Structure 1
């Protein structure tokens, strides 16, 4: 008679995200996850092949969370007005920043070079919103380079902010808004 399952894949991923938030990437071990879900570490291997697989699952789940937030934010800006792509770009950037501030370790992991961190389908799905906004700003021929520009600027700013690199004074929130508006205006122009 098989032994009953004591945990689920969803519980393992949730525990992985909680540990990542609390202890960072070094603290995210199979042993730590096993303790969090109340099983012995070998039991996790029924659901997760190893730490790299756990990281991939955490990244995919974090990307899904970020995607849902972006979709909700863009749905709101679309209802409030005519769906101005410049306003959508600013809202998309704000949503990325909010997610990163609330989940800095997960955000860093999404953009980190982690072995098999995310499947191509998860990354493609997470790029859909920025590609759509970029296409509305610059047209289909230049959508991919525009989306890369948007992502590079937003990720660069956010990463610098998370690492405390803005030390020259001034209002960082104001600088972020300035950058987002000007990137949108440059692409729309």
Structure 2
């Protein structure tokens, strides 16, 4: 059995994330994590002070993961130059709209891959303990694209509008609320296209 020194914090958090997805937040116990990494439960407390801290570390790792995906989703040529006038022609508008769709898809894909972790960070709760700065950093790609399509003065409003629609759609999808048949993927793309177009119109 490995000694505590051979059990890294990354391994503990990784084990916790796997257990969260398999057994939900209720199944995320220090004992379960200890068994997964091959130590006794008391040994975990040398790395993590409590279950609450472990949940907060998992939430932070989840946000970092999602932030990386969002950052990788937007086009390099479409990055905002910070001047507030990035949208000067139809080509740049089209690039921004493509990025909106990519960001929305990235969030949806992440939610399907890690639904429990997604719920942990997108459901308001003191348990996740997410810091505002971490959330701001994770939101940077979305805010940059929002500024390009709606203007800097409406960037936060646009980002919140898009986030609210995507998370609402995904929540209904994951809960099985879409019961009238039809192509859910097509409905998602339809919604993203319409939301993005509406956000561009706010810049006029």
Shift of 1:6: 3.2
The answer as to 2:68 corresponding to 1:56 is: no
Residue of structure 2 aligned with 1:101, choices 94, 106, 112: 112
Asked if the contact 1:86/1:184 (under 8 Å) is kept, the reply is yes
Distance 1:52 1:46, change over 3 A: same
CA distance in 1, matches of 2:41, 2:117: 22
Residue of structure 1 aligned with 2:103, choices 79, 92, 102: 92
CA distance in 2, matches of 1:31, 1:68: 30
CA distance in 2, matches of 1:95, 1:143: 19
CA distance in 1, matches of 2:197, 2:124: 31
Distance 1:97 1:121, change over 3 A: same
Counterpart for residue 15 of structure 1: 15
Give me the TM-score of the superposition, normalised by structure 1: 0.92
Counterpart for residue 39 of structure 1: 39
CA distance in 2, matches of 1:175, 1:115: 33
Deviations 1:90-142 (A, max 9, x none): 11000100111111111111112332511222111111111111111111111
Shift of 1:13: 0.4
Q: Which runs of 5+ in 2 are unaligned?
A: 80-90
Asked if the contact 1:6/1:39 (under 8 Å) is kept, the reply is no
Give me the TM-score of the superposition, normalised by structure 2: 0.85
CA distance in 2, matches of 1:133, 1:156: 20
CA distance in 1, matches of 2:146, 2:76: 18
Shift of 1:38: 0.9
State how many pairs are aligned: 186
Instruction: Give me the CA root mean square deviation.
Output: 1.8
Residue of structure 2 aligned with 1:182, choices 190, 194, 201: 194
Deviations 1:23-63 (A, max 9, x none): 11111111111111111111111111211111111111111
Asked if the contact 1:52/1:115 (under 8 Å) is kept, the reply is no
Residue of structure 1 aligned with 2:151, choices 127, 133, 139: 139
Distance 1:4 1:40, change over 3 A: closer
- Which segment is superposed worse, 113-122 or 148-157? 113-122
Q: Which runs of 5+ in 1 are unaligned?
A: none
Specify the SS of the correspondent of 2:135: helix
Counterpart for residue 74 of structure 1: 74
